[in-house]
Amino acid sequence: MPTPLTPDALFRKLSLRALRVFDQVAEHGSTVKASEVLSLSQSAVTKAIQTLEQTLGIQLFVRTNHGMTPTDYARILRQRVKLVLADFSDLANETNSFLEGDSGQVAVGTLISSTLRFLPLSISLLEKTAPRISVSVQEGTVEQLFPLLLSGQISVVVGRVSYSPFTPYPWMRDGQVKSEALLDEVLCLVVGKHHPLAPENSVSLKQLCAYRWVLPSMPSPTRHLVEKMFEDAGQEFPRHATESLSLLSNLGILLNSDAVAALPSTVALEFRRLGLVHILPVSKTIAFGQIGYSVHASRPLTPAALRFIGSLKEAAAIIRKE
């Protein structure tokens, strides 16, 4: 009685080339035709079939004057072989798609400056050209997101990229992070549509001191810029402030109170377009800096991440024209 085959024995003895030869011989009923399709010599095809029969310990074809006729077992075997070959075909296609950036996953960190307009538009553009790429988004602060970028847990941080050379963030100074600016951004002072100052044609900082503010906590760049704006104007910084990094919470506070908030213009303009807020007409423009993306300086990006960055650049071009 022959020794039973084991999966381990098949792994060691079977070759994918032999299975492909077998499939083509069964398809055409001829070693000559199979050799033409596979660009192999007829002797190589014949030897592959013989080796496969010896490995399995069973006859696969009946050789006649009219060609090669599959045995009953060969017909069963071919069903399995077709599944294996199809899996390898799928693997090749998926690998090519990954290398071309048509599939894969991109983990993205986003700062508040990009959450409402820039990033959503970028993802929408990516979905149109590469729908098989999956994007996961995590919102947070600089302190939260950049350590994740450095550890490889996220691939790209989208948001403010212009920082002072005296920044307290070491990764901004020591070359671990590489950034590219795509948009110039300013801060807008906004209130809910019902706010007493909404109808005014001009608003001073002195008027704003009387209202509660919604601001991120230090060392947020937004908080620093707002404090400097009051300092430069010789005005006392508002004592009443709610500290919040949640864009939705901030919007809710604006809609349900007479609070004032400082928002990046891309966010403020989108909220205004939706009829939710009023942008206050203050005399001084607050330069927020540049918006773009940051990546690890020495870690190669996947093709999918590169496709995502391409969509960021496309979205930035659209926003600049608006």
Give me the pLDDT at residue 102, please: 75
**Is pLDDT above 60 for 241?**
yes
* C-alpha span between 271 and 67 (Å, rounded): 75
Positive or negative CA dihedral for 180, 182, 186, 188?
Answer: negative
Q: What is the mean pLDDT of residues 211-227?
A: 80
**Is pLDDT above 60 for 164?**
no
**Is pLDDT above 60 for 284?**
yes
- Name the pLDDT band for 163 (thresholds 50, 70, 90): low
**Is pLDDT above 60 for 254?**
yes
51's tokens: 């080796």
Query: Which CATH fold topology does 7-99 show?
Result: Arc Repressor Mutant, subunit A (1.10.10)
* C-alpha span between 18 and 50 (Å, rounded): 10
In the DSSP assignment, the letter for residue 203 is B
Q: What is the mean pLDDT of residues 62-78?
A: 89
Q: Of 289, 72, 44, 260, which is closest to residue 164 (Cα–Cα)? A: 289
- Bridge partners (DSSP) listed for residue 295: 178
Q: Of 183, 188, 185, which is closest to residue 276 (Cα–Cα)? A: 188
- Name the pLDDT band for 234 (thresholds 50, 70, 90): confident
- Name the pLDDT band for 132 (thresholds 50, 70, 90): confident
CATH architecture of 103-321: 3-Layer(aba) Sandwich (3.40)
Contacts of 226 (CB under 8 A, 6+ apart): 187, 213, 215, 237, 262, 286
Bigger pLDDT: 305 or 220? 305
In the DSSP assignment, the letter for residue 184 is E
**Is pLDDT above 60 for 130?**
yes
Q: What is the mean pLDDT of residues 287-296?
A: 88
> By mean pLDDT, which of 23-37, 38-52, 71-85, 211-225 is the weakest?
211-225
- Name the pLDDT band for 61 (thresholds 50, 70, 90): very high
Rounded to two decimals, the pTM is 0.64
289's tokens: 């800096």
Q: What is the mean pLDDT of residues 166-186?
A: 78
Average pLDDT, whole number, for the chain?
86
- Name the pLDDT band for 279 (thresholds 50, 70, 90): very high
* C-alpha span between 68 and 71 (Å, rounded): 9
Pairing outcome for strands 177-192 and 260-264: antiparallel
Share of the chain above pLDDT 70, in %: 94
Give me the pLDDT at residue 191, please: 92
Pair 254, 191: CB distance under 8 Å: yes
Give me the pLDDT at residue 230, please: 82
Spell out the domain ranges in the chain.
7-99, 103-321
Place of tokens 């004057």: 65
* Residue 254 burial by Cβ neighbours in a 10 Å radius (0-12, 13-18, 19+): buried
Q: What is the mean pLDDT of residues 135-164?
A: 86
- Name the pLDDT band for 135 (thresholds 50, 70, 90): very high
In the DSSP assignment, the letter for residue 42 is H
Phi, psi of 57 (to 5 degrees): 75, 30
User: Around 25, how many Cα atoms within 13 Å sit in the side-chain half-sphere?
Assistant: 33
